[in-house]
Amino acid sequence: MAVIIGSTVRCPYPNCDHTGDVITNNHCRTAHKMERKELFGRYGKPQGVKFDSLASSKNLAGHVPAPNVNIGYPSDSIDAKDRRTARRRGR
C-alpha cells in the first residue's frame, strides 16, 4: 500500500526528478533558468510523491547504522569522572 507524504513533492518540469519538501526558487533558477512562479505557470504545480513503505523497508534491509563517535573523552575514564565531579562542586 502506498502512503502519500504531503510534504514531499516533485518538480513539475519535464524529465526533472528533483523532489523535496518544497521546490525552491534556487532549484528553479539553477536547474531550469526560470523563476518558480514562471515554472509553475508553464508546467503546473508540483505533485505529491507517493511513498512505498515496502520498498523503503527493502532499501534499509541489512543497513547497519554507524557507531556513535565520541569526539571528546571516554565517559568511563578517571579523567571524565574527575571532570564531572568538579562540575558538580562548582554549582
Decide if pLDDT at 7 tops 80: no
Q: What is the pLDDT of residue 67?
A: 79
Instruction: Give CA torsion, residues 30, 15, 21, 47, to 10 deg.
Output: 130
On the CB side of 52, CA atoms within 13 Å amount to: 4
For residue 65, the 8-state DSSP code is: P
Sort 53 into a burial class: Cβ within 10 Å, 0-12 / 13-18 / 19+: exposed
pLDDT tens digits, one per residue of 54-84:
777 777 777 778 777 766 666 777 777 888 8
C-alpha cell, 5: 507524504
Q: What is the pLDDT of residue 38?
A: 94
Q: Where are the domains of the chain?
A: 1-58
Decide if pLDDT at 1 tops 80: no
Q: How many residues comprise the chain?
A: 91
